[in-house]
């Protein structure tokens, strides 16, 4: 946990020398009295927590889809900004700050946090921007400009071309000079967007186009740079902090190598097995980078570390608080949001470099819990958190979350649900704690990456610290291996159905297939609860026979093969979704929650999804028959581009439609060879999940497929 008392002491102990500084050239220290938090979700709550702790008033803002969001409910005053995109509405945010009597604005991360024009405007309006000077944001916001400055400051950069010539032929020549593979990167890029790998000269033009087009739509600027693609890199970043008294410190490093779509999902501090000399060198280069741009406040200098050569290169600087800042807080015993407030108030940093190094201890991990489907290329999901149980928090287990049970993960915004942060005396201990805590995380209502994170945290290569950005690809077969569902999961799910009469139902649940079973208990007859197992196109039934032999006692047989005689079972008096069964030699607690036709089962730290037979009317209601021979939208989204015309003959895997959901582009590819009969939704259309986007002609294959890259 952050130790705010340390920093609080520093706030009070303004040294005479610091005061003298302020009376001359340095702006006067001015305590913050009211902060407008121009963000949402967990970071808005995070900033609010520290501000409130120090008695600073806060005001939050929200948009129409966020009217009931937690961050809007934590302050007595929250200002409605209007439409979904209004977190970017500079005028409204500044007006809200002034009207609510705030003297400062905290931008969080994302949204306006790295918008130099916003930072400038806030200052011009007489408010304090809780972040670096706008000039530093501007310089660092441009990946090519920042490289120039870094090279001058003696910070190593990845070999490549980062000049202004954007002629495709010229860029191809530069790429050939660097040597393939190369990475094409939007200079204004962020969030892993606007980035494409070109493995060969032949695919360079395509990759250049697609990087440019994503950059245009995401950042309104399609200038790119080309650099050497490092094939087995690690992502190592340094947390820096600077004040306006000339102090600049490094609060250690974080390894964020485990990524999907160039976006981090597991972060840790310190970086495993980093040579101590190299480690100090990276810290010093990061401090040099910050000083070179007159930095103030919290920043992160990202480096790419070449596993093959042991060299490291500056990649970019993020001029804000990062999502993964908690791992640094845990190992340094600091509250970085408090440090941000101190610096914004014109006060000096609370600790020196030596003090930070002296109090650094232990190892911390952060796992990002996302609403997404790892089995479908990590496409984002959205929907209601129908059921949510989180690990017990303690001095070593922390959860920074923006949403609770009943809240909705909206398709308008980033799909991160929460961050799980754990700490241990060393890496092994912290990782064991991470696995245990993930095992306690239960989410029903949408797809999450929790099962995937469990596999990552238990992977022998990860345990051995063999991290690299290609980790997921390299270990794809073991990370995506399908694990068989244990018979006890079926047995306990069946008991839950029988004992509840009706498994816990969500209010809007269209199913009540189990309704007829109420009143069975006590009638001493055999009942069969059926599950459906899908293997590709094939479907088989898995029956569980439940025979009551005495009060609370049952003989169970799963799939006609595995028998559990004389099981006693009951529903937890505290929680209807929990079945407690006594099997021979085993007391087994299992959570069973129904979401439509799926029973989501949590047992022994793992989640299983058991399908139940769909009632025939449901298929009709869904309109599945009407969308046969079509390609469906995998998630709620907006159609950005349609790459085919009616009558086109397409091959399997040909791009059909580009969609955008949660600010991310996804290419929908053809599931098979065929002829396009109809474009159902065109550019700009906003569609729900499971809606037909493109229809194929009758004689082209007759399967309905959800396909996503």
Cα distance between residue 678 and residue 644, in whole Å? 10
Single out the segment in contact with Mg ion by CB under 5 A; choices: 179-187, 295-303, 368-376, 593-601. Answer: 295-303
Smallest gap from residue 227 Cβ to ligand ADP (A): 5
- Give the one entry of Mg ion, ligand ADP, none that residue 265 binds, where binding means its C-beta sits below a cut-off of 5 to 8 angstroms depending on kind: none
Task: Tell me whether strands 57-63 and 34-37 are parallel, antiparallel or unpaired.
Answer: parallel
Smallest gap from residue 556 Cβ to ligand ADP (A): 49
Single out the segment in contact with Mg ion by CB under 5 A; choices: 121-129, 212-220, 297-305, 562-570. Answer: 297-305
Q: Which residue has the tokens 């939050």?
A: 60
* Closer residue to ligand ADP, CB minimum distance, 431 or 467: 467
Smallest gap from residue 315 Cβ to ligand ADP (A): 5
Of 33-72, binders to Mg ion (CB under 5 A) are: none
Cα distance between residue 244 and residue 307, in whole Å? 36
- Give the one entry of ligand ADP, Mg ion, none that residue 120 binds, where binding means its C-beta sits below a cut-off of 5 to 8 angstroms depending on kind: none
**Cβ-closest position to Mg ion:** 302
* Closer residue to ligand ADP, CB minimum distance, 100 or 681: 100
Cα distance between residue 182 and residue 186, in whole Å? 13
Cα distance between residue 91 and residue 243, in whole Å? 28
Query: Given the rule CB under 6 A, which residues bind ligand ADP?
Result: 57-59, 75-77, 100-101, 158, 183, 189-192, 227-230, 233, 235, 259, 262, 302, 304, 315-316, 469
Smallest gap from residue 123 Cβ to ligand ADP (A): 20
* Closer residue to Mg ion, CB minimum distance, 191 or 383: 191
Q: What contacts 361, CB < 8 A, 6 or more positions away?
A: 331, 333, 425
Task: Tell me whether strands 674-679 and 655-661 are parallel, antiparallel or unpaired.
Answer: unpaired
Of 402-441, binders to Mg ion (CB under 5 A) are: none
* Closer residue to ligand ADP, CB minimum distance, 189 or 391: 189
Of 302-321, binders to Mg ion (CB under 5 A) are: 302
* Closer residue to Mg ion, CB minimum distance, 285 or 578: 285
Q: Which residue has the tokens 């239960």?
A: 442
Both tokens of 341, joined, read: 């407030």
Smallest gap from residue 157 Cβ to Mg ion (A): 14
- Give the one entry of Mg ion, ligand ADP, none that residue 191 binds, where binding means its C-beta sits below a cut-off of 5 to 8 angstroms depending on kind: ligand ADP
Smallest gap from residue 433 Cβ to ligand ADP (A): 25
What DSSP assignment string belongs to 350-416?
SS-HHHHHHH--SEEEEEEEEBEEGGGTTEE--EE--EEE-PPP-SSEEEEES--TT-EE-TTS--E
Smallest gap from residue 99 Cβ to ligand ADP (A): 7
* Closer residue to ligand ADP, CB minimum distance, 191 or 377: 191
Q: Is residue 370 a contact partner of residue 424, using CB atoms and an 8 Å limit?
A: no
* Closer residue to ligand ADP, CB minimum distance, 227 or 442: 227
Cα distance between residue 253 and residue 255, in whole Å? 7
User: Catalytic pick from 196, 320, 398, 435?
Assistant: 320
* Closer residue to ligand ADP, CB minimum distance, 192 or 613: 192
> Given CA atoms 334, 340, 343, 347 in this order, what sign does their dihedral have?
negative
Cα distance between residue 681 and residue 46, in whole Å? 40
Q: 168-178 and 204-219 helices cross at what angle (nearest 10)?
A: 110
Cα dihedral 555/558/563/564 (nearest 10):
-50
DSSP state of 615: P
- Give the one entry of Mg ion, ligand ADP, none that residue 159 binds, where binding means its C-beta sits below a cut-off of 5 to 8 angstroms depending on kind: none
Q: Is residue 429 a contact partner of residue 363, using CB atoms and an 8 Å limit?
A: yes
Single out the segment in contact with Mg ion by CB under 5 A; choices: 104-112, 177-185, 276-284, 294-302. Answer: 294-302
- For residue 466, report the phi and psi dihedrals to the nearest 5 degrees: -85, 65
- Give the one entry of Mg ion, ligand ADP, none that residue 139 binds, where binding means its C-beta sits below a cut-off of 5 to 8 angstroms depending on kind: none
Q: What contacts 478, CB < 8 A, 6 or more positions away?
A: 455, 459
- Give the one entry of ligand ADP, Mg ion, none that residue 396 binds, where binding means its C-beta sits below a cut-off of 5 to 8 angstroms depending on kind: none
- Give the one entry of Mg ion, ligand ADP, none that residue 348 binds, where binding means its C-beta sits below a cut-off of 5 to 8 angstroms depending on kind: none
Q: What contacts 644, CB < 8 A, 6 or more positions away?
A: 650, 654, 656, 657, 676, 679, 694
Q: 143-152 and 276-292 helices cross at what angle (nearest 10)?
A: 110
Binding mask 76-115 for Mg ion (x = CB under 5 A): ----------------------------------------
Of 540-579, binders to Mg ion (CB under 5 A) are: none
Single out the segment in contact with Mg ion by CB under 5 A; choices: 10-18, 65-73, 299-307, 556-564. Answer: 299-307
Q: Is 320 designated active site?
A: yes
- Chain centroid offset of residue 64 CA: 22
Single out the segment in contact with Mg ion by CB under 5 A; choices: 46-54, 300-308, 382-390, 497-505. Answer: 300-308
Q: What contacts 611, CB < 8 A, 6 or more positions away?
A: 531, 532, 533, 534, 597, 598, 599
- Give the one entry of Mg ion, ligand ADP, none that residue 435 binds, where binding means its C-beta sits below a cut-off of 5 to 8 angstroms depending on kind: none
- Give the one entry of ligand ADP, Mg ion, none that residue 111 binds, where binding means its C-beta sits below a cut-off of 5 to 8 angstroms depending on kind: none
* Closer residue to ligand ADP, CB minimum distance, 239 or 590: 239
* Closer residue to ligand ADP, CB minimum distance, 226 or 351: 226
- Give the one entry of ligand ADP, Mg ion, none that residue 615 binds, where binding means its C-beta sits below a cut-off of 5 to 8 angstroms depending on kind: none
Smallest gap from residue 271 Cβ to ligand ADP (A): 13
- For residue 241, report the phi and psi dihedrals to the nearest 5 degrees: -145, 135
Of 379, 634, 605, the residue nearest 483 (C-alpha): 605
Cα distance between residue 346 and residue 92, in whole Å? 26
Smallest gap from residue 371 Cβ to ligand ADP (A): 20
Smallest gap from residue 35 Cβ to ligand ADP (A): 9
* Closer residue to ligand ADP, CB minimum distance, 236 or 657: 236
Long-range (24+ apart) CB contacts under 8 A made by 640-648 are 640/217, 640/665, 640/683, 641/683, 642/679, 642/682, 642/683, 642/694, 644/676, 644/679, 644/694, 645/676, 645/679, 646/676, 646/677, 646/678, 646/679, 647/675, 647/676, 648/675, 648/676
Smallest gap from residue 34 Cβ to Mg ion (A): 32
- Give the one entry of ligand ADP, Mg ion, none that residue 230 binds, where binding means its C-beta sits below a cut-off of 5 to 8 angstroms depending on kind: ligand ADP
Which residues form the interface with Mg ion (CB under 5 A)?
302
Active site residues: 320
């Amino acid at each position: 946990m952050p130790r705010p008392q340390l920093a609080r002491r520093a706030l009070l102990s303004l040294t005479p020398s610091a005061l003298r500084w302020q009376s001359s050239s340095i702006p006067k220290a001015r305590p913050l009295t009211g902060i407008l938090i121009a963000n949402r979700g967990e970071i808005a709550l995070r900033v609010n927590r520290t501000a409130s702790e120090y008695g600073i008033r806060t005001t939050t803002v929200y948009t129409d889809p966020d009217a009931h969001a937690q961050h809007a409910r934590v302050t007595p005053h929250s200002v409605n900004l209007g439409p979904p995109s209004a977190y970017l509405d500079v005028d409204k945010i500044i007006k809200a700050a002034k009207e609510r009597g705030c003297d400062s604005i905290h931008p969080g991360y994302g949204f306006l946090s790295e918008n130099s024009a916003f930072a400038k405007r806030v200052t011009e309006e007489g408010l304090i921007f809780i972040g670096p000077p706008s000039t530093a944001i501007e310089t660092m916001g441009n990946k090519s400009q920042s490289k120039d400055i870094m090279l001058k400051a003696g910070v190593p950069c990845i070999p490549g071309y980062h000049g202004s010539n954007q002629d495709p032929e010229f860029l191809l020549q530069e790429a050939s000079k660097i040597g393939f593979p190369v990475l094409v990167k939007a200079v204004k890029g962020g969030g892993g967007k606007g980035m494409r790998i070109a493995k060969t000269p032949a695919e360079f033009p395509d990759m250049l186009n697609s990087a440019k087009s994503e950059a245009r739509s995401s950042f309104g600027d399609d200038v790119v740079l080309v650099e050497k693609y490092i094939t087995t890199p690690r992502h190592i970043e340094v947390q820096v902090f600077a004040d306006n008294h000339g102090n600049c410190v490094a609060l250690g490093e974080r390894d964020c190598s485990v990524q999907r779509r160039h976006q981090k999902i597991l972060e840790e501090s310190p970086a495993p097995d980093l040579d101590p000399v190299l480690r100090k060198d990276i810290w010093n280069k990061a401090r040099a980078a910050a000083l070179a741009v007159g930095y103030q406040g919290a920043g992160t200098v990202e480096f790419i570390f070449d596993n093959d050569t042991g060299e490291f290169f500056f990649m970019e600087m993020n001029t804000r608080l990062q999502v993964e800042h908690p791992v640094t807080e845990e190992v340094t015993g600091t509250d970085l949001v408090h440090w941000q407030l101190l610096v914004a108030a014109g006060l000096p940093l609370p600790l020196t470099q030596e003090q930070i190094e002296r109090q650094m201890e232990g190892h911390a991990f952060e796992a990002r819990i996302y609403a997404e489907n790892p089995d479908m290329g990590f496409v984002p999901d959205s929907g209601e958190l129908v059921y949510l149980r989180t690990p017990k928090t303690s001095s070593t287990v922390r959860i920074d979350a923006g949403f609770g049970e009943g809240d909705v993960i909206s398709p308008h915004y980033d799909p991160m649900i929460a961050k799980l942060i754990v700490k241990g005396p060393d890496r092994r201990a912290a990782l064991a704690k991470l696995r245990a805590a993930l095992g306690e995380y239960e989410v029903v209502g949408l797809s999450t990456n929790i099962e995937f994170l469990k596999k990552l945290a238990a992977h022998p290569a990860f345990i051995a610290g063999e991290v690299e950005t290609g980790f997921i690809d390299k270990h794809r077969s073991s990370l995506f291996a399908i694990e068989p569902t244990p018979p006890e999961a079926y047995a306990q799910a069946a008991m839950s159905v029988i004992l509840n009469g009706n498994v816990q139902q969500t209010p809007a649940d269209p199913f009540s297939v189990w309704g007829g079973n109420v009143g069975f208990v006590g009638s001493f007859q055999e009942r069969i609860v059926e599950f459906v197992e899908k293997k590709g196109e094939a479907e088989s039934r898995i029956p569980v026979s439940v025979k009551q032999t005495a009060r609370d006692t049952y003989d169970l047989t799963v799939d006609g093969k595995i028998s559990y005689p004389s099981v006693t079972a009951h529903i937890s008096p505290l929680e209807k979704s929990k079945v407690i069964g006594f099997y021979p030699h085993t007391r087994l607690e299992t959570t069973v929650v129904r979401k439509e036709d799926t029973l989501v089962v949590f047992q022994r730290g793992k989640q299983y999804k058991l399908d139940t037979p769909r009632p025939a009317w449901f298929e009709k209601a869904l309109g599945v028959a009407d969308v046969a021979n079509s390609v469906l939208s995998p998630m709620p989204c907006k159609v950005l581009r349609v790459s085919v015309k009616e009558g086109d003959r397409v091959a399997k895997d040909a791009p059909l439609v580009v969609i955008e959901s949660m600010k991310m582009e996804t290419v929908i590819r053809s599931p098979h060879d065929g002829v396009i009969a109809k474009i159902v939704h065109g550019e700009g259309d906003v569609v729900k999940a499971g809606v037909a986007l493109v229809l194929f002609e009758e004689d082209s294959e007759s399967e309905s497929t959800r396909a996503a890259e």
